A = this chain, B = another copy of it.
């Protein structure tokens, strides 16, 4: 019976600025291209979708961007989040490794997503926007934007992937409790949705489809802007409060990670923890292995193509260069967690191309096995997404035991699983299948990657 070890910090230690990794890259990331003419996109092209402050952040090369006081004031509701040493888990594994985790599930919405939701709501409000439209898959992002919208008095409309909408009524109820409107996507409310329903009436939906619907609503309504919960540069940057705090907390623990791990769907919680450590590696030559973990059912980093692609199914978004499974890729419906986006954040993809990060893919049963072991030792039930990071941390710790080494491992426990207990029930009942994506579907999807004049 070892003691719980938590490295808490006072509110005065909440970071005063976000970290922009672009400032430290040895080579700049590729430009964003216009979906129509294929040339580089300008701020005016993005203005119908985003407030100018966020567009400025999207293209900024400044290393530090100040966190506005009202945003930092709301962060105080749950930040700094705790860093824990997983001593009980270490003992259960009999490992010589030290395992630390940063726990983002203490936010009111239960995950890391409010870090950017609050920032996005603030900048939109500041520029006079009154309504936000967005998409959500498993529901973590939609409920976080609903939370932020409530605090800033913004109307929030969420297009929720239909299969999740049906399977996760509690997530929908959470959004509605915060005052947001939640619609199953594909819906009849948009041209994009109607087109999909006409072709595939039984479509279970996908993030790509839901993004098309949410973007369309923003593009067609002057009072509405669009908000994205991952992928974009400014979204990842808002999440860097996680890693900035973790560096200081690790110092308080007299430690520095040899390995940093995060699960990766669009890439935001992974980047939030990892980028500040990668920055130290680039600037201070402080060595660190960084591992992105994705589901084998939706393996953009490990099986995707690095190419310019659309962010959505209806091809309304700009083209970004990323590891992609193709915008028409729909992951198998049996997959229990989130992490279902067809592409990886351009900045994470760039890190992969530069050799700054590793990637691996896991099937879901070993992840839930890890999640249960974690819950019974550390007391926190991880979100299905987060179990991917737990699994990788455990595997690294077991490898260390075999090799007789004592590395320090740090992973991001991005959220709790309280809204996802059905997935645990299915796991215990042996109902979760460990199946890869369909290779034929991947091939077909990749065949539709946009052909660019420049390539």
Contacts and interface: CB of A to CB of B under 8 A. Distances in A.
A70 B11 contact: no
Interface in A33-92: 69-70, 73-74, 76-77, 84, 88
Contacts of A177: 371-372, 375-376, 381, 421, 424, 428
B76 A179 contact: no
A424 B173 contact: yes
Interface in A281-332: none
A3 interface: yes
Given A151-B88, A178-B376, A421 B76 contact: no
Interface in A159-184: 169-174, 176-179
B379 A108 contact: yes
A152 interface: yes
A210 to B, nearest CB: 21
Contacts of A76: 3-6
Contact of A379 (B77, B169, B171): B77
A422 B179 CA distance: 16
Interface string A6-27: 1010110000000000000000
Secondary structure dominating the interface of A: helix
B174 A381 contact: yes
B10 A10 contact: yes
Interface of A: 1, 3-6, 8, 10-11, 69-70, 73-74, 76-77, 84, 88, 106, 108, 110, 125, 147, 150-152, 169-174, 176-179, 371-372, 375-377, 379-381, 416, 418-419, 421-422, 424-425, 428
